[in-house]
Chain A
Amino acid sequence: MYTQALNVKDEPAAAGDPVLEARFQAHVDAELKIEPNDWMPEGYRKTLTRQISQHAHSEIVGMLPEGNWITRAPTLRRKAALLAKVQDEGGHGLYLYSAAETLGTSREQMFEQLLSGKAKYSSIFNYPTLTWADIGAIGWLVDGAAIMNQIPLCRCSYGPYARAMIRICKEESFHQRQGYEIMMTLARGTPEQKAMAQDALNRWWWPSVMMFGPSDSDSQHSDQTMRWKIKRFSNDDLRQKFIDATVPQGHFIGLEFPDKDLKFNEETKHWDFGEIDWTEFKRVIAGDGPCNKQRMKQRRAAHDNGRWVREAALAYAEKRRNREAAAKIAAE
């Protein structure tokens, strides 16, 4: 789900073969898919590898803030739903790692880039989940923003990425609805419960709005990815779409958005909104968010603690192969 990888810099189109490049671009312009073994410019391969792998990392790291509440979910129904959602996110990570692998980078290399801190993941997952209402806010807002970002990616020019996104988008809708339902239940509950929902909205609203990446005026990187049809809409267009869709949903359950400039513009038929704190965004991306260190520590621990499982599975498969080979020889 979470495509802040869109904020990465484009790889410069290295001087390649002009004939092949023209043919490639014509193919893309005709809305045909590029497949793993097709010729592609090096910059296209690099940009996509980075975007898809960072997208995968975001799915995997994104399991941590929500996993934090699985054992404390208020009812069995909520627990089952949250467990299923977090499992889906793990699946999304796997689809995306597979798609990225088709470009020639191994999953192990991508893991290494994440664990060494070289690769980024969506800044939203560096915020803490302090109360149960945060689980509602994440599903409603974070998955909601993710859906806005991901739907156009279903038409991405790279076949394996587009196909992975189609699967993912089908699954995301449940995530957003279960989150909104949590918020609605709290907002219609006791005054304390409503205050808890409002507090979660206050904390998650701006980070969710920032998920769409820097403002168009500050990102000169979209041109090439647009031409390659990796990206279809600008950050600001998607952000506006998200705000327009989400604000009425919040008002419907009686919650207020932490933005005093938020106002429906009768002329444009869009919601006008206040200034985004880009210094906070940059700070969190650069590693100085509330939970960056904790997330990476947990990811590394999970990877290290799983090593014996990976090794044992390989050893077991090898033992079985050897045993089968020996039985075959004995039978001959």
Chain B
Amino acid sequence: MTEQKTEQHWPLWEVFIRSKNGLSHRHAGSLHATDATMALQAARDVYTRRGEGLSIWVVPSNAITASDPTDKDVMFEPSESKIYRHPTFYDIPDEVGHM
């Protein structure tokens, strides 16, 4: 197929949807579209056919800056080692009741 070489590809977009229950927008998947308007329409058709959402965000995939998976040990180590950030770290006598 010669088309491969001549046909330009449609850019990739990431789709985020906010559901009815008040949670924040959540990544639903991705799709190809020539511009933002088309990406929104396609996202409606592809990702919300059964009342999955009340709001859609589309973001060009190449606009996202992601953390490097090879750095994840270093990146997330500080959150692993600080057990005093969790409520269970603190001893409260049972007599005090629920806290």
Q: Does B49 contact A (CB under 8 A)?
A: yes
- The listed residue (A37, A106, A115, A317) touching B9 by CB distance below 8 A is A106
Q: How far is the CB of B67 from chain A (nearest CB, A)?
A: 9
Q: Does B69 contact A (CB under 8 A)?
A: yes
Q: Does B12 contact A (CB under 8 A)?
A: yes
Pairs A-B, 5 closest by C-beta atoms: A317-B34, A317-B35, A313-B34, A98-B30, A37-B69
Check if A98 sits within 8 Å of B49, measured CB to CB.
no
A94-B46, A116-B1 known; A307-B7 Cβ under 8 A: yes
Residues in B whose Cβ lies below 8 Å from that of A116: 1
The contact sample of 26 A-B pairs, CB cut-off 8 A, is A38-B69, A39-B70, A91-B46, A91-B49, A95-B46, A101-B30, A106-B9, A107-B9, A107-B32, A108-B4, A112-B1, A112-B4, A115-B1, A167-B29, A171-B50, A307-B3, A307-B7, A310-B7, A310-B10, A313-B34, A314-B8, A314-B10, A314-B34, A317-B34, A317-B35, A317-B38
Within 8 A of B (CB), among A86-109: 87-88, 91, 94-95, 98, 101, 106-109
Residues in B whose Cβ lies below 8 Å from that of A39: 70
Within 8 A of B (CB), among A290-320: 307, 310-311, 313-314, 316-317, 320
Considering the complex, give the chain B residue whose CB is closest to the CB of A115: B1
Residues in B whose Cβ lies below 8 Å from that of A38: 69
Cβ contacts B1-39/A at 8 Å (1 or 0 each)? 101100111101000000000000000011110110010
| Complex CA–CA separation, A95 to B10 (angstroms) | 16
Q: Does B66 contact A (CB under 8 A)?
A: yes
Residues in A whose Cβ lies below 8 Å from that of B46: 91, 94-95
Residues in A whose Cβ lies below 8 Å from that of B35: 316-317, 320-321
Residues in A whose Cβ lies below 8 Å from that of B68: 37
Q: How far is the CB of A230 from chain B (nearest CB, A)?
A: 20
- Chain A: residues with Cβ within 8 Å of the partner, total of 32
Q: Which residues of B contact A (CB under 8 A)?
A: 1, 3-4, 7-10, 12, 29-32, 34-35, 38, 45-46, 49-50, 66, 68-70
- The listed residue (B4, B30, B38, B49) touching A313 by CB distance below 8 A is B38
Q: Does A135 contact B (CB under 8 A)?
A: no
Q: Does A35 contact B (CB under 8 A)?
A: yes
A115-B1, A116-B1, A164-B29 known; A311-B7 Cβ under 8 A: yes
Residues in A whose Cβ lies below 8 Å from that of B8: 314
| Complex CA–CA separation, A95 to B49 (angstroms) | 13
| Complex CA–CA separation, A177 to B7 (angstroms) | 41
Considering the complex, give the chain A residue whose CB is closest to the CB of B66: A37
Q: Which residues of A contact B (CB under 8 A)?
A: 35, 37-39, 84, 87-88, 91, 94-95, 98, 101, 106-109, 112, 115-116, 163-164, 167, 171, 307, 310-311, 313-314, 316-317, 320-321
A116-B1, A307-B7 known; A98-B29 Cβ under 8 A: yes
Check if B66 sits within 8 Å of A313, measured CB to CB.
no
Check if B31 sits within 8 Å of A98, measured CB to CB.
yes
Q: A35-B69, A91-B45 are in contact. List 16 more A-B contacts (CB 8 A).
A: A39-B70, A84-B49, A95-B29, A98-B29, A106-B9, A108-B4, A108-B7, A112-B1, A112-B3, A112-B4, A115-B1, A116-B1, A307-B3, A307-B7, A316-B34, A317-B34
Check if A108 sits within 8 Å of B9, measured CB to CB.
yes
Chain A CB count within 10 A is highest, among B9, B34, B50, for B34
Considering the complex, give the chain B residue whose CB is closest to the CB of A315: B34
Considering the complex, give the chain A residue whose CB is closest to the CB of B4: A112
Residues in B whose Cβ lies below 8 Å from that of A91: 45-46, 49
Residues in B whose Cβ lies below 8 Å from that of A109: 4
Residues in B whose Cβ lies below 8 Å from that of A171: 50
| Complex CA–CA separation, A171 to B49 (angstroms) | 10
Q: How far is the CB of A98 from chain B (nearest CB, A)?
A: 5
| Complex CA–CA separation, A101 to B30 (angstroms) | 10
Considering the complex, give the chain B residue whose CB is closest to the CB of A174: B50
Check if B49 sits within 8 Å of A88, measured CB to CB.
yes
Residues in A whose Cβ lies below 8 Å from that of B1: 112, 115-116
